[in-house]
Amino acid sequence: MIAGVKFLEYNKIQSIGLVGHSLGGAVVIKAAAALPNIVRTVVTLATQSYGAVEAVSQLGQERCSILLIHGTDDDILWPICSSHVYDKANDPKHIILLEGAGHGLGEAAEDTYQTTYRWLLEHL
C-alpha cells in the first residue's frame, strides 16, 4: 500500500483517497497515518478494529477525513469494530451502519458504492 502511494506521489499526484474492506480497513488507516502529505480521506468497509484503533487518531484534524461503513448483520466482524474506530477518530468523520447488510455489504452494494463515491468526490 505504502509503495503504491509513494509511486503516485512521485508522479505528482497531490491527494488521494484510500478504500479498504475488512482487514484492508486497518491497512488503509495505517497507510494514511504514515503518509500525511498525500492521503486526504479514508473509507473503510466492515473494518476490523485491531490495528485501526491505534492508528486512526494519527490522521489529524482536518487533514484526513474518514468514513466508516458497516453492516448491522455482519457476523464476521461485528459493527462495534467500526464504532470503536469511529470513537477514536478525529473530525471530519462519519459512520454509517447499514441495516441488514452482512460482512461483504452485498445487501447494500449500490448504496455502499454511491455513498463511497460521493464521499471521495467531496473530500478530495
DSSP for 13-48, please give it: ---EEEEEETHHHHHHHHHHHH-TTTEEEEEEES--
CA distances, 18 to each of 24, 70, 101 (Å): 10, 16, 22
The C-alpha atoms of residue 70 and residue 88 are separated, in whole angstroms, by 16
pLDDT digit string (tens) for 11-39?
999 999 999 999 999 999 999 999 988 99
**Of 85, 121, 19, 16, the residue nearest 97 (C-alpha):** 85
The C-alpha atoms of residue 107 and residue 90 are separated, in whole angstroms, by 29
Per-residue pLDDT, 61: 66
By the 8 A CB rule, do 70 and 84 touch? no
Per-residue pLDDT, 63: 84
**All structural domains of the chain:** 2-123 (3.40.50.1820)
